[in-house]
Every structure is written in structure tokens, then in C-alpha cells.
Amino acid sequence: MQDDRITTAYKRPVEIKAEETGVIDLPLRDNKGNMRHLTDLKGKVVLLNFHAFSIQESPEYIMKMRALYDKYHERGLEIYMVSLDENEHFWKESVASLPWINVFDNIGISQAYTSTATTTPIIYLIDRSNTVVKNPSQIKNLPQEIEALL
């Protein structure tokens, strides 16, 4: 009799409910000490950017990001830049005049996005529904990719 119940239980259909969460949240502090969540940017197109300000090419790269931000921010683009630098004071000095969201990862939470990368910067594009739509290997023409999401 017990075998019959076990067999009957195995034959019942199993209903699996899953909820799509979109992005992996990155709750990190910005350069002013405020907690910033990547998931709070739902409704905007987000350029998720992992960068080290200590690399030699950083000033040039930041100028390119500034041009993108200036061109597309009014239309709904937000940059969420995660610093992978080791020196927090240097990072704070580097981002003091940047208009987008700058956070510092001193706890290693960004490894969910950066574990397979070998160089920086690392860029992901996130659509307005908070879903990663382009990973670093898929981005060929960044302005064109942003334009398509706006």
C-alpha cells in the first residue's frame, strides 16, 4: 500500500513557478556614501560599466563615456559605473566631477558580472525592463546599441 502511494505521488504533475528577476543587483555605496542599487534604475536604459580609474587609458575612456552620457542621458540613459580600483580615496578623487552613478566595490559583489573578464572596462547594456540585453562580447558599436534601446 505504501508503494502505491509513492508511485501515485511520483506520477502527479509538478508545477514549477519561477519569477524572472532580470539583473543581478549591485547594492553599493556611491562617492557620497549613499547606497545605490542597480535594480532601482528600472525604466531607464543602463550602461553597466566596470572600470578601474588607475589604468593608463582611463582619462580617454572617461571622456568617451562623458560624450555618450551627454548625448543620451536626456533620452533615458543612465551609467552605473562600478570601480574595481583598490584605493578608495583615489577613486573618490577620480569621480568627484562625473555626473553619472559611481559606486565602489570593496566587497567583491561585482564578481557575478566580472568573473570571466580579463581586462577592463567591462560593459553590459540593460534595457528599460531591467534585463541584460548585451554582454561585453555582443557589443560592437556602443552608440548604435544604446540608440536601439532608447
SS3 category, 11: helix
Instruction: List Cβ neighbours of 99 (8 Å cut-off, separation of 6 or more).
Output: 69, 73
Query: For 69-79, what is each residue's pLDDT tens digit?
Result: 999 999 999 99
**Res 118: pLDDT:** 66
Strand segments, DSSP code E, in the chain are: 28-30, 35-36, 45-51, 77-83, 101-104, 122-126, 132-134
Q: If you search the block for the grid coordinates 505521488, which residue do you land on?
A: 9
Q: Which of 146, 38, 144, 126 is nearest to 82 (CA)?
A: 38
pTM: 0.81
**Res 95: pLDDT:** 95
Q: Which of 34, 37, 33 is nearest to 48 (CA)?
A: 37
**Res 129: pLDDT:** 92
Query: For 117-137, what is each residue's pLDDT tens digit?
Result: 667 788 999 999 999 998 877
Instruction: List Cβ neighbours of 54 (8 Å cut-off, separation of 6 or more).
Output: 85, 86, 87, 90
Q: Which of 93, 101, 12, 6 is nearest to 50 (CA)?
A: 101
